[in-house]
Structure 1
Amino acid sequence: MAVAAGLYYLAELIEEYSVTAKYVISWLIFGTAAIHLGLIIFEDLPLHLNMLGLLQQCIHWAMIRDFPVVKMTSFTLFASVINLVTHHYFAFKYFAIAYLPFSEVLGYFTICLWLVPLTLFVSLTANDYVLPTRGEKQPLLGDNNVVTDYLSRKANTYSLLSFFSYAKDSILPQRSKKAF
């Protein structure tokens, strides 16, 4: 419940302050890339793990350029998911062979693998409140009013924030106010 509440709060913050969120995510990408460069220089992790990590951060940088707009059919999103799965596979394979303390393995996975993708996943809800533009695809049967079309489609959208709102309303008990 605490993790869900934390993700809900982060999703609301990102929706409210999308410019600041882009700035923070950009610095997370640079920080993670710097950590991978530091691991190449100072640690004896395999080079292919760090190169996959650097490639992942380059893909994330390409994704963040159009923030908060994320196209679910874009090449960068597919490349990011494929690279993330590949990076996980090689990281699991390496850490199964090499003996390292659990805290170091968890630190590597948390900072180098999960931090930026998780923030990008939570930030997908920021796209819900982007104003419509004339460049969006219009339906064939409908009027050419951009705002009316956008608001009619808006009722049918599903996002992480709407899921957490539904979960909050249906799972958590509601306190009733006493009338005096």
Structure 2
Amino acid sequence: MFLQLLSYVGIVVGFIFLILSIASGLYYISELVEEHSEPTKRFLTRLIYVLIVAFVLLWLFDRFPFFLTAFSIFSYWVYLQNLNKFPYVQLTSPVFLVSCVLVIANHFLWFNHFHNPYIPPLEERLQPGYVPPTIPTFVEVCSFFGLGVWFVPFALFVSLSAHDNLLPHHVESSNSKKKSNGLAKVVVGRIRDWIFEVSRRLGYELDKNRGVLV
């Protein structure tokens, strides 16, 4: 019984360290992108076109559903519109909001597709020359979701910068230069500030050097 309790504690601690590692990675990647915004834009643009071609090939050779494939290609076209003013993004802009909705929709539509594969009726399966449909393996499904569904939205999330915290692109003040804040850094930073504030209200000071939030 104690071993089971210890395993639960280990899961919680491991999950916390995983979240901290992801947050640190987001900060590092965001810093890297801020220093190389133009190469990042070119990379994301080419990546989107490559994945659009990959979806067409999946439809032609692996018999992926046409309408679902077309929906994903349309989603990538919308993702591409976020690069028009790269790396700046207005969080309330229609393109950004639609992109967020499409990410969620793509995930659930493709998950439903792989979770409920099409099974031909018995009459069709009994016909001579019947070729059973290919069921993707777990590795193939994970690879598809990682590269075809999540990779570009995650890369955009890390690469884009919050519009409210930025000066216009390539515009500098004569006395000072305002450094851009990546969208990922803004989100992670606000979550971190919220954790510090909650811990302070509970009587635990995680960082005594941080000022009290208003």
Q: CA deviation at 1:114?
A: 0.5
Larger RCO (CA within 8 A; separation ≥ 6): 1
Change (3 A) 1:65 1:83: same
Identify if the C-alpha distance between structure 1 residues 4 and 62 changes in structure 2 by more than 3 Å, giving closer, same or farther: same
Matched, 1:161 2:197: no
Percent identity between matched residues is 28
TM-score, normalization by structure 1 = 0.71
* Cα separation, partners in 2 of 1:147 and 1:69, compared to 1, 3 Å: farther
| 2:54 aligned to which of 35, 58, 61 | 35
Deviations 1:12-38 (A, max 9, x none): 111111111111111111111111111
Counterpart of 1:7?
26
Match of 1:86 in 2: 105
Q: 1:69 to 1:97 in 2, by over 3 A?
A: same
In structure 1, the partner of 2:146 is 110
Structure 2: where are the runs of 5+ without partners?
1-19, 118-134, 197-214
Question: Which stretches in structure 1 are left out of the alignment for 5+ residues?
Answer: 134-145, 171-180
Q: Distance in 1 between matches of 2:145 and 2:55?
A: 12
Question: What is the number of equivalent residue pairs in this alignment?
Answer: 153
- SS of residue matched to 2:161: helix
Shift, 1:132, TM fit: 3.9
CA shift for structure 1 position 158: 8.8
Query: Whole-Å Cα distance in 1 between the matches of residues 183 and 144 of structure 2?
Result: 29
Larger radius of gyration: 2
Are residues 1:131 and 2:155 paired? no
Change (3 A) 1:127 1:12: farther
Q: Is the 8 A contact 1:52 1:83 kept in 2?
A: no
Higher helix share: 1
Distance 1:19 1:128, change over 3 A: farther
Runs (4+) off by over 6 Å: none
Is the CA contact (8 Å cut-off) linking 1:18 and 1:68 kept in structure 2?
yes
CA distance in 2, matches of 1:62, 1:100: 32
Q: Which amino acid aligns with 1:125?
A: S
Let me know the Cα RMSD of the aligned residues: 3.3
